[in-house]
Structure 1
């Protein structure tokens, strides 16, 4: 069995940016072992022992339903699974069986509390794995929604997916409350250098930002300008990690005026470590928010499946800001956008009134159209996704545009047909645009395609008040 060192973990994408000393700490406290082909790492309802890092080999995750094997996922070299920070899952929900000789490094769950308290970057890396897991649940539910269109989706599957989604929502909400009720650590950090009344001012400023439910609504250009201003301010005050801080401070509404106010209560020598501590809390808050939004999406999709299959009463329309769903979709697809180096341009009419719609189902429309646009931009030079919202009399019109190669003329008339897909085998079922068209028609609207090389537009138009 190979001895594991820091370089081995650094070769795994999840741990690229984790400091060496934290990785060594994890290695020293982990259990290292091999599993033979056919041996189970875990079985349903068996307690998980910790966070598993697959060093080499292959593990298949599957369930048995009516004596039939259903493969869920496969973990190979570099995969991270098991218990993760802030996860409520404590037992295996499926069989985890080795398909070849597999080396595993297991970080015991007994050390998770120490990990969260003392090793921020390592915790952040594992929470990102947690967020990716939520995205995978969302992707799975999208596929289930397509299966439902074929009449193959059962009530039991919807219930099964709803349980982990609800658990993630409750867990992340509890974590947020915990963070907002823990000012003592900050007081201990600087109490020897600052009087208590000054400490209280700094704490109040940070927790006011954490408690605020309103975030600045900025264009990409405005956000970039504000981040540059904050970076300049931080550099002028000799604060380290100014780039990471600037992004968070802008997100939570910390402007130069608020930062200048803090300097009246913080000694210059303590400014950098205190702002670093504030930034850590803001970053954690952002990760929690991502988990909540993603898990709520799963629950919304489950509700849409129930409504469409008449498992519950018919779906109710409600007034909502259409930009919220679009931006949440972009958040869900952030990894894919960054991976494809896609530039996102928002041309939103923020004066649009709330629209009456079934929010969960509209989110499926944005997810399908934006995801397709990203796929169309693969390997394109200077890929760009443009999102436009505007009012057309009593209708709202949403345009999703990409500068990809375009859709050939001979298949434009078939693009909305069920089962028709231009993607390779295994990458598409041909139901995405059919689902989009069905949902838009439920909203008494229309979806149209305009495409030529270098510009493809899908325009979704539906009444603001939900009626024709």
Structure 2
């Protein structure tokens, strides 16, 4: 009998022997029920114990998972905070796009640089942000096309610049995403390089100004060298003129006196010839006739005056050359003066006569020119350079023509020097005024003549025009103002 039932019977009925048979059967049934309940209870206890242990283990696993998740969330929060700090601490504007070229993220520097309004920045709406950006950029279509292109070609590196409506210049730079990051679109960096661009432009301008200054210094140096050369020539010409003029003066005077003496002598001889027929001594007459015949008396009387005339002409020619040298160099005229250009051209032609006489015929077709305010010796140098070049273009074996024309137009005069030489090749035509450029063989030219001429004409506020055709010749036309401006 179940122990609990036995305890109750003993309590109320005493000994078991006093229990009726029917009650005993009932008690047996109850005891069996108790025993069955104990078995079920034991099973339940065991099930509950098993469930408790399972719940304990599961709870421990959940606590572990929760701890891991909390650590992961903390780490993620730290990484996001680090990313935010990185994005916001960089000096560049950052714009992040997904693969469809839609805005994912941007930093505060980007907002400030592209003048994105706070309202638009707070919305984080792609369309609104792009519309706001397009309103700030000079070429909005190109800007958005570039963003789409970069997202469609993630393997490409890109660097370019664009200009904002307010004149600022923005640099845009983008590297390909790391391998394996297919979900990422593109990360673009933006930097305001307006100050740098302005500094670079200022540096370029300064370099150009330096180049122009160096060129001017070279031209001034070359002109100084040429001026010193011309001054030396002028001083030499003045010295030569002084040294030659003195002997030429007394030779010319002596020739004039000799001519007078000879005329007197021939008058006396003519009187003797008249008296010759009156001589009675035929022997003396025969001797005189023999002497006159041997001396070729009739020819001598005629030729001696021609010799005197040629000598006088030669002396006059030497005097003219000396004067032309003085006129060409104008050594005593360093200031601006009113000058007859035709006289300067004629003087220059006489100076370079030896250079031209063997291969060139000079044709003058002068027009009416007023006197021109200029530095005559410098313009004569220009004429000389062009005339000598014309002679060289014709060549030593040729017989060409150099034509000099002149005229006026409004308040300007022009002088044109043309030759029918070999001409200038088109590729050289634009370089002929460059310093040291020459097509002549080494030792035959410095390449400074036309460069100096160009500078001289510019100094006179004029210009030089040139036309040339290979095989037909070249024409230089020099334009000069009649009066120099006050500046």
**Given the two structures, how large is their TM-score scaled by the length of structure 2?**
0.44
| Structure with the higher helix share, 1 or 2 | 2
More strand by share: 1
Structure with bigger gyration radius? 2
Question: Per chain length, whose mean CA-contact separation is higher, i.e. which structure has more relative contact order (CA < 8 Å, sep 6+)?
Answer: 1
Give TM-score, length-normalised by structure 1. Answer: 0.46
